[in-house]
Amino acid sequence: MAINVEMHMTEAVRLVIWDLDDTFWTGTLSEGGISYIDAHHDIIVALAKRGIMSSICSKNDFRQVETVLVERGIREYFVFPSINWEAKSHRIAATISDMQLRPVNVMFIDDNAMNLNEVKHYIPDIQVAGPEIIGTILTDPRFVGKPDPDLTRLGRYRILERKHEDSRRSGGDNLDFLRSSQIRISFHHDVEHEMPRIHELINRTNQLNFTKNRAPENPDEFRDAMLGKLAKFDSNISYVKVADRYGSYGICGFFAIEDGQVEHFLFSCRSMNMGIEQFVWQKLGRPRIDIVGEVSSVLDDGTDIDWIAVVDDADDSDAITTHDTTICMRGACDLSVSSYYLKGKYTVFEEFAYPYRNWGIQPVVRALEIGSCISDGERNAISDRMPGMPVDRFSSHVVTQDVDVFVLSFSGEIFCDNFYSKSFGLVFPLDGPCVPYLRNRDRDYGRVKQATNMELSEAEWNFMVDDLVFHQESVSTLFERDIRSLFNRLRGKKVILCTLNEEFGSQQWVLDKFSRINAITMPLAMEHGFRIVDVRPYVRGTDDLITPDDAGGHFKRNIYMKISSDIEEHIRHWN
């Protein structure tokens, strides 16, 4: 038999496409008779129990073939069968595409050399062989597969087959079909409990693996590395389950984000063409991702994905949809970790501290008070003249009140000093290495710049020294007045206050200030009917801090999971 030389003999086979006449059985069905080969029947069953699928590409009458396969009890083991009189190459290409596989992972078996060469010509990466391979399949290392005694993989491909059939019946309108499919996903953070599946996804997924970063092949090394990432303060690591009205697809996705940069972002081919990867990327706030190699999807294609629901657990067909709720989370950077656990289910707007021209821009309550009483013109004028004031410094969903839920934390209040601006008649909160020099009205620009590495010009620094006067009023007094004003404006809204740890930490002055903030905010929150998430029972010692020498404001991830769980419980109560 003259066929092309194999190019991918070491690639694992995930699908075997069988010819029937003189291959799966002996004889030609259309010419009056066949001899069924029980050994081949047993091979197909054994392959299915290894997670390796079987399909058919045969030139035959579909009803005649169907009758034989049903009588022999093997019909349900074949998925996406193609049985007609057309050329085989384009039919096999369609089967591979419909099953969302790569040709290198497919074996086509046929007794006709012309069919093999035709398919190999049009699908160069496919593996092909004559019937002589059948006897060695179960010992061939390409067909090792993965144990699947419950035929889970076969069940999922049968679901995919039904979906394709329904899609064709819908007339080809893919969006209408997707909207009718009732797709639901869920985000899960207990990564340590699903290490084998996540390990497999990272190292075996190709078509929807956007970064191609692989993990150590050794399971123990992988587990140690992943646990180290999970312990980091600024990491966001989760897996994604997918289901629809046809059934559950299990864990189909995984992402790992550290400091806003994506390390892993990948999805199983079983969720391909459902919009899952685009939807998840959008829910995560479109984090930075360096896409490596070819990927069978475009993340930012402009599609408005309105057919996916986020639920508690996609495996539960009665799960409650929660993603319509919008949340504003405003506070210091520590609140961002709890935000990680909420982003998947909700639309979250984050208002956290960030650096601006080497100034620590804190989203403190004073900024909210200013934002509520100035016009857009005044806001632009402040940004133009004050070097430490970005134009959005005083903007907030708390001011516009255009979200469903407000989650507030005030740990950032302790780091700011207040300065009165003679130009604007307002008291501004400022933080950064320049602040002590500003308080002392130090005009030695060279010394200040060298000591603080500030990004201000000498003219800008001199303006600030001339315009800003340290505000002598007690920070606590001003804070309490601003908090009362803020809470009055939010009266009747859905507000959650996160308390502060006031007992464990290396800096007593920080704990003292946290205690003072709790003493001011908690009674007022209860007076206004707000909900409270009290972190103090969760922080029972320095072991609960991110490091033993932390000042007292940063915790281990399990604490933030508890905080986010409490936030979610309050939201459920309102909904």
pLDDT in tens, 515-552: 999 999 999 999 999 999 999 999 999 999 988 999 99
253 Cβ partners below 8 Å, 6+ apart?
185, 201, 239, 240, 242, 266, 267, 268, 271, 276, 277, 280
pLDDT in tens, 23-65: 999 999 988 789 999 999 999 999 999 999 999 999 999 999 9
pLDDT in tens, 487-496: 999 999 999 9
pLDDT of the residue at 520: 95
Residue 449 or residue 50, greater confidence: 50
pLDDT in tens, 165-186: 887 776 656 788 888 888 999 9
Confidence of residue 505 (pLDDT cuts 50, 70, 90): very high
What mean pLDDT do residues 380-398 have?
83
What mean pLDDT do residues 109-119 have?
93
- Closest alpha carbon to 404 in 493, 531, 497, 498: 493
What mean pLDDT do residues 396-408 have?
94
pLDDT in tens, 301-329: 888 888 998 888 998 877 656 557 999 99
Identify the structural domains of the chain with CATH numbers, from first to last.
15-154 (3.40.50.1000), 172-310 (3.40.630), 326-416+475-574 (3.40.50.1110)
- Closest alpha carbon to 87 in 118, 131, 121, 120: 118
DSSP reduced 3-state for 553? coil
The yes-or-no verdict on residue 231 having pLDDT over 90 is no
Neighbour count for residue 550 (Cβ, 10 Å): 20
Q: β-strand 405-408 against 417-421: which pairing, if any?
A: unpaired
Residue 88 or residue 334, greater confidence: 88
The yes-or-no verdict on residue 1 having pLDDT over 70 is no
What mean pLDDT do residues 192-216 have?
93
What mean pLDDT do residues 355-373 have?
76
pLDDT of the residue at 118: 92
pLDDT of the residue at 270: 82
pLDDT of the residue at 456: 84
pLDDT of the residue at 359: 66
pLDDT of the residue at 320: 59
pLDDT in tens, 457-473: 899 899 989 999 998 87
The yes-or-no verdict on residue 5 having pLDDT over 50 is no
Alpha helices in 275-320 (DSSP H): 276-283
What mean pLDDT do residues 191-218 have?
93
**Residue 254 in contact with residue 175, Cβ under 8 Å?**
no
What mean pLDDT do residues 378-388 have?
83
Percent of the chain with pLDDT strictly greater than 90: 59
Helix 508-527 with 475-489: angle, nearest 10 deg: 30
Q: Catalogue the E-assigned strands of 31-77.
A: 33-35, 53-59
pLDDT of the residue at 6: 45
Least reliable range by pLDDT among 100-109, 163-172, 347-356, 536-545: 163-172
The pTM of this model reads 0.69
The yes-or-no verdict on residue 570 having pLDDT over 70 is yes
Residue with the two structure tokens 């303006």: 463
* E strand or H helix that includes residue 469: strand 468-470
Q: What is the mean pLDDT of the chain?
A: 89
119 Cβ partners below 8 Å, 6+ apart?
88, 89, 92, 108, 110, 126, 128
